[in-house]
Structure 1
Amino acid sequence: MSIEKSPEIVRILHAQEMRGERIVNHIRFAFALLSVYTFAHVWTVNTPAANTIFAVQIGGYLVYSLLLYAFFRLRPGVYVGWLKYVSIFVDLALLTLTALATARNHSGIIEYFTSYLSTVYVLWNLMSGFRYSLAACLYSAGLSALFNSVVLAVTVYTDAVPISPVSVYGQNAINLADQCQQVLFIALPGVVAGIIARMSRNLILRAEVESLARARLEREKQELGRYLSKDLVDFVLSDPRRLKLGGTRRHVSVMFTDIRNFTPLAESVEPEVVVSFLNEYFTEMVDIVFRYGGTLDKYIGDGLMAVFGAPLSVEDAPKRAVMAAIEMVQALERFNQRQHLGCGEIRMGVGIATGTVISGNIGSLQRMEYTCIGDTVNTASRLEQANKELGSKIIICQATYAAVNEAIPAQATGAVSIRGKNRQVHPYIVDHADVSPARLSELRRQLLQAPRRMESMPPRPDAPRVPVVWSGTDRGGAQ
């Protein structure tokens, strides 16, 4: 279905046509009132027969105008496609009655050819453009040419006016070449109006299409915004090529969170209560991730995976991840103060690792998701699980500590063995209580004011892809 035939665009164009019809009716009514005023001053110098026809003509304009006013008032939202053609016919037919009136007046039909009637024809032809319809304008031009040609033919056939072989002016005679030229130039404004109407219609169409596209894009952004950060939504929608399969190497900080002892919690309260709690919990946690420029990669049961630095490059990704983790723990403490689940204190663990990942669209052509995979992701997942053994809330890897140690204090845990890695790791524990509120406020202000940069361009379709390395059963997420 073409754009112009879409229901919404058709409705808009129809509304514009009917709006133009109302404008023409206002002008028609004003023309009728002006004609009444003129007729009141000249009726005494006309013949009774001419006055009768003039009265019918003016009355026709008034009656038709009032009928349309009543119709528009009673049926304000109705579109009548044939109305413009009827209106054009009525206007031009009533105007052509002037030929019949002047034929019965003192000077005869020569008045028709020498008066201002050609100017009025031009006016009606130009007003046909208010309908935003090329067909209506051409119809008006053709009809006016037809009516004037008929008047000229009858005049010549009946010898009502002498035919001069040369151009004449101010005499009781006409020249056929001059009159044919006048008929042409009476009709020509209708053609010009049609071109303008077509251009105006296209402008309206383009404006409405762009407006609908913007509205649709906003709706899509709102829907995607339920799952992704605003920056990631803009990133994806700004270039459809980013929805292709493939990935690139990115240096990021990956975060995993998890609620401690969630299974007993789910068993001790009603499922509806658990769902309500998770919705409130995730809403607050994800807001914090988005605030610090992170991307929500996925929900994993009662936990989540977030990435700082992909697909958006951010300054100080490790600091952003650690600050987000601290605010998450603080938010959960506030939640514990007001919640009444009857299951004691709810605790959470956060694991953060910094390093190189493969960032991109992973999956199939039918269904894909933007995610990060690699050893850094696996490490973050395992560090989060290590909180259970160490009794901590936030654990970060050595690379993350190296990036934040001057701003955020952390305690070394010593060598720790984690599942899936042959070598031991040396993580650090971050205790939010060790950071003063003033220091946290300063770091928050610095990070939230720092700019975030969009990934410049996705990899070209013909560029070589970086191979994705699978590690055992790990996909780069929690297993």
Structure 2
Amino acid sequence: LDAGGDDYLTRPFEHKALLARVRSMLRQKALYDTVESQTRLLEDQAAQLAAWNRSLEQTVADQVAEIERMGRLRRFLPAQVADLIVAAGNGDALLQSHRREVTVVFCDLRGFTAFAETAEPEEVMTVLGEYHSCLGEQIVRHEGTLERFVGDGIVVVFNDPLPCADHTERAVSMAAAMRDAIDEHSERWRKRDYLLGFGIGIARGHATIGRIGFDQRADYAVIGTVSNHAARLCEEARSRQILVSQRVLGAVESLVESVPVGELTLKGFRRPMPAYEVVRWLGRSS
């Protein structure tokens, strides 16, 4: 047995005893082979399970990254545009700093500062919620890019991050739709003794665009005089008035009813800037 044998018989041995011992050894060998086979099978299954776990971990990591990327894009873009960018796989690249011609819409409420000084905070937040919800529907419908909220001010950009040839048309069409939508809210606000108006400024020009900020907090920004131009036109606009720059009017003149306002002295601009009021959106004839 010490030499490696599994069993032995002493002489003289009986033939039946020998056969019984051999059969016992064969059963042990068959059992050993079964155990070995099952062990190898379990090892293979364990290896396959480990590979599946690694693949699942990578899939989950990729999906989490995609959700985070989608979340960043949905902060600025309508859902259908964000979906398109994520599907293309270049959403982060599209938000890197670049230069492009854009149309910028700046709008805010007239009389909001005075209203906020006298109204209860809950009333102010209620009005802002109604206002943002109302305008948000139009931003999404016209596929604009929400750049930022500035209190009661809203900045919307067209032609970035996804280019569109008719970006100025979309901007002016959205502005007219916003004015009509706010008219309905203005009537309800007047019944609550909230004296609020709504004005819009629109400008077109080149700007540097991209993500600004730091790792924990980043925003999408449009840097350039075109944003200031839209903001200054908005400041000059009376309630229900849409003021546009010369370049904006040139792009949509046949699509709107407009009247010249004259040259305006705008803060931050060294020379007077021509401005026009969009009285009515006509659109393209079908």
- TM bin (shorter chain): 0.7 to 0.9
Deviations 1:145-195 (A, max 9, x none): xxxxxxxx87x25789527xxxxxxx9835969964762354123312321
Alignment match, 1:300: 150
Alignment match, 1:415: 263
Q: 1:306 Cα shift?
A: 1.1
Unaligned 5+ segments in structure 1 are: 1-152, 164-170, 444-479
The 5 A counterparts of 1:258-273 are 258-273=108-123
Letter matched to residue 286 of structure 1: G
Higher strand share: 2
Are the counterparts in 1 of residues 73 and 82 from structure 2 also a CA contact under 8 Å? no
**Identical pairs, percent:** 26
Q: Distance in 1 between matches of 2:27 and 2:130?
A: 85
1:399 to 220, 224, 247: 247
Alignment match, 2:137: 287
2:39 to 187, 190, 194: 190
CA change 1:234–1:369 in 2 (3 A) is: farther
Q: Distance in 1 between matches of 2:218 and 2:72?
A: 17
Are the counterparts in 2 of residues 254 and 305 from structure 1 also a CA contact under 8 Å? yes
Alignment match, 2:192: 341
Are the counterparts in 1 of residues 144 and 156 from structure 2 also a CA contact under 8 Å? yes
Q: Distance in 1 between matches of 2:47 and 2:181?
A: 60
Are the counterparts in 1 of residues 73 and 91 from structure 2 also a CA contact under 8 Å? no
1:162 to 8, 14, 18: 18
Count of matched residue positions in the alignment of Structure 1 and Structure 2? 275
CA change 1:240–1:376 in 2 (3 A) is: closer
Are the counterparts in 2 of residues 392 and 429 from structure 1 also a CA contact under 8 Å? no
TM-score (norm 2): 0.79
CA change 1:186–1:270 in 2 (3 A) is: closer
Q: 1:374 Cα shift?
A: 0.6
Q: Distance in 1 between matches of 2:157 and 2:261?
A: 24
Are the counterparts in 1 of residues 245 and 274 from structure 2 also a CA contact under 8 Å? yes
Q: Secondary structure at the match of 2:97?
A: strand
Q: Secondary structure at the match of 1:194?
A: helix
CA change 1:215–1:422 in 2 (3 A) is: closer
1:368 to 200, 212, 218: 218
TM-score (norm 1): 0.50
1:328 aligns with 2:184: no
CA change 1:424–1:258 in 2 (3 A) is: same
Q: 1:261 Cα shift?
A: 1.2
1:425 aligns with 2:273: yes
CA RMSD of aligned residues (A): 3.7
Q: Distance in 1 between matches of 2:192 and 2:61?
A: 46
Q: Secondary structure at the match of 2:228?
A: helix
Unaligned 5+ segments in structure 2 are: 11-15
